[in-house]
Structure 1
Amino acid sequence: MRQAASLVLAVSLSIPWSVPNAPAQSAAERFFPLEHVRPGLRGIGKTVFEGEAVEEFGVEILGVLPGRPGPKQSIIIARLVGPRLERTRVFAGMSGSPVYIEGRLLGAIAYTFPFATEPIAGITPIQDMMDALDVESSSPTSGPQRSARTTRFTLESATEALSWGRAFRGLLSAEEIAVEPEALMRPSLRPLLGQRLVPIATPLSISGISPEALERFTPELQRFGFFPIAGISAGAAITPLAPITPETLAPGKSVSVQLMRGDLSIEAIGTVTLREGSRIYAFGHRLFNLGGVDMPLSEASTIAIIPSVMSSFKLGVTERLVGTLRQDRSAGVLGVLGEAPRLIPLTLELKKSRGGTHTYRVEMINNGVLTPLLVNLAVFSAITGSERSFGDVTLRVRGAIKIRGHEDVLLDGRFSATNEAPVQAALSVALPVSYLLNSGFDVTLEGIQLEIEALEQRRMGTLDRVWVNRTDVRRGETIELQVYARTEDGREVVERVPIEIPADAPLGRLSIVVGDGNAVQAYDGRQVTASLNAVQSLAQLIRALNRLRKSDRLYVKLIHSSPGAIVKNEELPALPPSVLATIGSERTAGGYHPLPYTTLKEIELPPGEFLITGHRQVSITVVR
């Protein structure tokens, strides 16, 4: 009997709680109608000021702004009353605090007036939140996958890679609502004419991120309504789902939404507006306005409300993982209790230049825009947290991006520069992730594994000349190619490469082209993005990523000046003029790139001690 009771208790703790056999209440019984809102009405609000205890404060309605922030939406303006709020006014982290009138839920405190001298807030009506948030269509991967490729966020340069401003400007706009003169404006709202109503700032607790990384993206997060708080909390640990109880994320309690958790963590803190069974409504305004999402949803405790002349804020700590955020829209967010989020694990092992190894383990959300940025941030932060940001540095990045049902995307590259090596190393991981997640194909990333080795030296050189031991050769014979490079300190480096002439090589003149990956790609006259955009399946995209030439090593190409073409990402050499005319005609749509030569052989040389750049060319003659 005791075992049976224990089993019942365990099962009851593993599912979201609801009140059994409770009579269903209508919306009119649970929610205070917007059309009944009048100036002078009084109610109560709920939020957490300290610890986990929900406290009440007074609310006095001033009026309603119709048609804001969007069509068929409204914002209720109210004055908040209470001794704590007299010190802090409306504070960051208060978003979502529920307001009740006559015991019925009116909505969520979500907006504020910047630099206001008293706590006047905007309330998002609960019906607007529920209309905007639909759990049935909340999955970010629901619906059929697109077969055509989509426009992707590519982080195409080192500057772009850490220009968080451009990324966020493409993602959401700064939301400001002007209080303008209107014929029907209530007298109680007239003192607010000309003021700007903005979403309450969301505290963004950041842990484990290096100061260099914070410096690059904090200003842009502030611009879009986030309030970064660095290095104060212990961060969000990687934990399994906790049991769900009737008190889990009750209205007024603090809630945490994580973008990344583990040794490096970023989490947004807000307040729960409503819990309906396993559904959680919170914030009353958007986080990123991403629509369907898959983010960890956790309980949070409040250390304190920090009063500030500029902006008071809630100092919170993420606690137990209890569910998944499913919707992020303009009127709020929606989470589901008892469901674990699908995250992307990243493991990074950093071999420090001074000896020793650091291992970082994080999990991050799966999103085409934010995940590449988070990968970029995590790699850059791990490097700059242990290695210097300025001065000569050489970094080698090796690893794999694991994809369910497909081969891995392999990562292997070195980056040597005076100041930009960490940026380039982080970019080398973020770019493939961006291409995969924004490909339009059904992609499930199972994890990213990285090994980075650091050296506080710059190891660069320039390709000087190439030489062959014979210029007249026969088919099937092997010649020796000697590659000479000059390092930055003046030393000469020589590499000897045997080249076997193919048995079917055409008679006459052939060329040997030697260069680093970027130089050979430029010699081909085809952009890297062209080969990636021409793929027709995920398998082709993975092959194309794995076949990209690397900038840290030399390539040797044996070519013949007979025209060919690349069709659907495959090189077709030595094509007859009639075939070239057919595939290059106006009736052939896309996937075609002409080549002025045919590649007979290409050799990738193993990476040497130095990163050699440049290209050289030498000719040979195939004789009978």
Structure 2
Amino acid sequence: MKLRTLCSVFLLGLLAATWPSAVPLYMSIDEVRPGMTGVGRTVFEGDRVDEFKVHILGVLRNVSAPKRDLVLARLEGGPLANTGVIAGMSGSPVYVDGRLLGAVAFSLGQFSKEPIAGITPIAEMIEAADPASSRAPVNNKGRISLPITREAMAAALGRVFARFERPFADSHSDLSLAGLAPSLRDRGAQLGVTLRPIATPLSLAGFHGATRDIIAGAFRDSGFVAFAGAGDSSDMIPSRVEAAKQPLRPGDAVGVNLITGDLSMGATGTVTEVDGDKVYAFGHPLYNLGPTQFPMTRAYVYTLLPSLASSMKVAMTGETIGTFKQDRSTAIAGTLGDGPPLVPVNVSLRTARGLEKKFRFDIVHDQMFTPLLTYVSLLNTLSAYEREFGAATFSVKGTATVRRHGDLSFEDVFTGDSPSVGAATYIVSPLNFLLSNDFEQVELDKVDL
């Protein structure tokens, strides 16, 4: 009996010693070798996650910042031979030997003949998205110059982006390509300099031509591709009910709403990883704002728009399923659950013809985006229902409720050519200074006009 027990203990010990340890879920960048093949996942149409092949070419060191590396890869499969890397693919997860390597996040820019992409390592995405305290006031760097033109908007967005480290290598001497022969490293380094974040589709619904051009032109300089889309597409998504019963999956399309309601503005990309209620996406920043409170939504891809310049997913945002709380250089990240509080802007408009209209826009609460998006929303609404050019008169009256500080009252009359610009500027100017003041973080509860 004792001999049998000793043999059993010996066998158990032998099995424990020889049993392989658990394989890590993630592949580190030090394990990557040229010639490896993997599988990527993304949505090309609808909400079905499709797979494509990934051929690893090498590792680009220090390409997106000091000690920020990228994996260079060639993509194959699905429509990629005709479209190249597609705007909206940002965040598409890549798996090698069943382990998550990272997110497709960079491309060679316009007119590329092959779908060559840069993959952001998942470790850098998770590290950058660690919880942090609320963002400090942006002060005058994030303050918008009013009235807002395309140039003023682009300059303000650029000033905020400039607060962060240089995001990309400028010279091939800034980086190196690991894993290849020395004769090929310089060529790979030169290739790395041309890599930039994959463009982010930006859907604009309810904006008329002039206002849409202002927004599209300003955001284009920051890597967004704006297009005229539809509003909240929750009711139009065929599998909305079924999808609501499923957790968000790696490879799913995901949206970030900036405006909802009678106007909508939202960006779309792809989910890289879901860890419990934590969601990591994009593999590059939305706007590198740091801590944020932006609505996380489902998204639906209606079709692909192939282009020799830059193909894109025509996608719309849907129902809110959580909050994006971090907007960092290597990822946007958030949690599933309730959406963040938004700033409701309620507008009652009576036209010269006696027509009465009521509008509501829910805008993200952000030191820079709240005044900017409030301005373009008001300008768009006033211009759409009254004369955009020529003599006209607007009588403006209303309040803005500032938490812990009461109401800010508005009452004035604007007349002459393009009075809509003066009226929108009058409302947004004090909000702009309050939200970017140097002394206290201000929370705007609502605007009623």
Aligned to 1:472: none
Task: Return closer, same or farther for 1:93/1:152 CA change in 2, 3 Å cut-off.
Answer: closer
Q: 1:320 to 1:155 in 2, by over 3 A?
A: closer
- Give the structure 2 partner of residue 289 of structure 1: 288
Q: Give the C-alpha shift of residue 154 in structure 1.
A: 4.5
d(CA) in 1 for partners of 2:177, 2:274: 35
Aligned AA for 2:270?
T
1:158 aligns with 2:156: no
Flag the 1:193–1:331 CA change in 2: closer, same or farther, 3 A: closer
Q: Secondary structure at the match of 2:423?
A: helix
Mark the CA change 1:28 to 1:433 in structure 2 (over 3 Å): closer, same or farther.
farther
> 2:65 is matched with which residue?
70
How far off is 1:131 after superposition? Answer: 0.7
2: distance between equivalents of 1:39 and 1:228?
36
Aligned counterpart for 2:117 among listed residues 118, 121, 138: 121
Write the letter of the residue equivalent to 2:207. I
SS of aligned partner of 2:63: coil
| 2:90 counterpart residue number | 95
Alpha-carbon distance in 2 for matches of 1:90, 1:179: 23
Alignment of 1:151-230 (within 5 A): 151=140, 153-158=142-147, 163-173=152-162, 175-178=167-170, 180=172, 186-187=180-181, 192=188, 194-195=190-191, 196-230=194-228
Alignment partners' CA distance in 2, 1:276 and 1:183: 32
Corresponding residue of 2:355: 356
Report the 3-state secondary structure (helix = DSSP H, G, I; strand = E; otherwise coil) of the residue aligned with 1:213: helix
Unaligned runs of 5+ in 2: 1-20, 236-240
CA contact (8 A) 1:178 1:197 kept: no
Q: Aligned letter for 2:67?
A: K
Distance 1:86 1:48 in 2: 16
Partners of 2:85 and 2:133 lie apart in 1 by 31
Quote the residue 1:482 is aligned against: none
Counterpart contact for 2:167–2:329, Cα < 8 Å: no
Using the TM superposition, give the Cα deviation of residue 434 of structure 1 relative to its aligned residue in structure 2, in angstroms: 1.2
SS at match of 1:390: coil
**Which residues in structure 2 correspond to 1:530-609 (within 5 Å)?**
none
Q: Name the residue aligned to 1:430.
A: 428
Partner in structure 2 of residue 132 of structure 1: 128
**CA offsets per residue over residues 280-300 of structure 1, 9 Å max, x none?**
000000011110000110111
Distance apart, 1:192 and its partner CA: 4.9
Tell me the TM-score normalised to structure 2 length.
0.86
Residue of structure 2 equivalent to 1:500 = none
Task: Indicate if the aligned counterparts of 2:146 and 2:429 stay in contact, CA closer than 8 A.
Answer: no
Give a deviation string over 1:401-450, Cα, whole Å, max 9, x none.
0123332100111111223x111111111111112212232432211001
Specify the SS of the correspondent of 1:426. helix
Q: Distance in 2 between matches of 1:422 and 1:237?
A: 32
In the TM superposition, residue 28 of structure 1 has moved relative to its aligned partner by 5.8
Report the counterpart of residue 34 of structure 1 in structure 2: 29
**Structure 1 residues 441-461: Cα deviation after superposition (integer angstroms, max 9, x where no partner):** 2432211001xxxxxxxxxxx
The aligned counterpart of 2:3 is: none
Question: Per the alignment, do residues 410 and 153 of structure 1 end up closer, same or farther by CA in structure 2, a change over 3 Å counting?
Answer: farther
Partner of 1:234: 231
The question of 1:266 aligning with 2:265 is answered: yes
1:377 maps to what in 2?
376
CA shift, 1:317, in A, is 1.7
Cα RMSD after superposing both structures: 2.5
Match of 1:410 in 2: 409
Counterpart Cα distance in 2 of 1:261 and 1:390: 27
The correspondence of residues 435-474 of structure 1 with structure 2, limited to 5 A, is: 435-439=433-437, 440-450=439-449
Q: Deviations over 1:183-222 (max 9, x none)?
A: 7652566655544110000000110112111122312211
Q: Secondary structure at the match of 1:68?
A: strand
| 1:250 is aligned to 2:249 | yes
> Using the alignment, how far apart are the partners of 2:234 and 2:398 within structure 1?
24
C-alpha distance in structure 2 between counterparts of 1:371 and 1:340, whole Å? 17
Aligned length: 413
Q: Which residue in 2 is equivalent to 1:481?
A: none
Tell me which structure has the larger Cα radius of gyration.
1
1:109 paired with 2:104, answer yes
Q: CA deviation at 1:389?
A: 1.4
Q: Residues 259 and 295 of structure 1 are in contact (CA less than 8 Å); yes or no, is this contact kept in structure 2?
A: yes
The Cα of 1:395 is off from its aligned counterpart by 1.0
CA change 1:27–1:430 in 2 (3 A) is: farther
Aligned-partner SS, 2:65: coil
Residues 346 and 86 of structure 1: is their aligned pair in 2 closer, same or farther, counting only changes over 3 Å?
same
| 2:85–2:117 CA contact under 8 A, matched in 1 | yes
Q: Is the 8 A contact 1:243 1:322 kept in 2?
A: no
Which residue identity is paired with 1:262? G
Supply the distance in 2 between the matched residues of 1:184 and 1:437 (Cα, whole angstroms): 44
User: Could you say what secondary structure the match of 1:408 adopts?
Assistant: strand
Counterpart-to-counterpart distance in 2, 1:132 and 1:154: 26
**Cα shift readout 1:485-510 (whole Å, capped 9, x = no counterpart):** xxxxxxxxxxxxxxxxxxxxxxxxxx
Instruction: Say which is worse superposed, 107-116 or 209-218, in terms of deviation.
Output: 209-218
CA contact (8 A) 2:269 2:281 kept: yes
Partner residue, 1:523: none
**One-letter code aligned to 2:123:** Q
Alignment deviations for residues 307-341 of structure 1 (CA, whole Å, 9 cap, x no partner): 11111001112122100010001001001111320
Asked if the contact 2:56/2:74 (under 8 Å) is kept, the reply is yes
* Per-residue deviation, residues 152-204 of structure 1 (Å, max 9, x unmatched): 75545425697211111112159544572677652566655544110000000
Q: Deviations over 1:347-404 (max 9, x none)?
A: 1112122320221111111111111100111100101111221111111111100123
Secondary structure, counterpart of 2:113 in structure 1: coil
**Alignment check: 8 A CA contact 1:345 1:448 kept:** yes
Residues 168 and 151 (structure 1), Cα distance of their counterparts in 2 relative to 1, 3 Å cut:
closer
Classify 1:197/1:244 alpha carbon distance in 2 versus 1 (closer, same or farther; 3 Å).
same
Structure 2 distance, partners of 1:349, 1:297, is 29
2: CA distance between counterparts of 1:373 and 1:346? 13
Is the 8 Å Cα contact of residues 300 and 315 (structure 2) preserved in structure 1? yes
* Letter aligned with residue 180 of structure 1: H
Structure 1 residues 520-571: Cα deviation after superposition (integer angstroms, max 9, x where no partner)? xxxxxxxxxxxxxxxxxxxxxxxxxxxxxxxxxxxxxxxxxxxxxxxxxxxx
| Paired residues of 2:177 and 2:189 also in contact (CA < 8 A) | no
- The equivalent residue for 2:56 is 61
Contact 2:216 2:226 in 1 (8 A): yes
CA distance in 1, matches of 2:28, 2:284: 19
**Which structure is richer in relative contact order (CA contacts within 8 A, separation 6 or more)?**
2
Identical residues among aligned pairs (%): 36
Q: What is the identity, as a one-letter code, of the residue corresponding to 1:125?
A: P
- 8 Å contact 2:142–2:159 — kept in the other structure? no
Tell me which residue corresponds to 2:305: 306
The letter of the residue matching 1:435 is F
1:165–1:184 distance in 2 versus 1, CA, 3 Å? closer
2-side partners of 1:391 and 1:313: how far apart? 38
Structure 1 residues not aligned, in runs of 5+:
1-25, 451-624
Which residue pairs with 1:620 in the alignment? none
Taking the TM superposition and a 5 Å limit, the aligned residue runs for 1:271-282 are 271-282=270-281
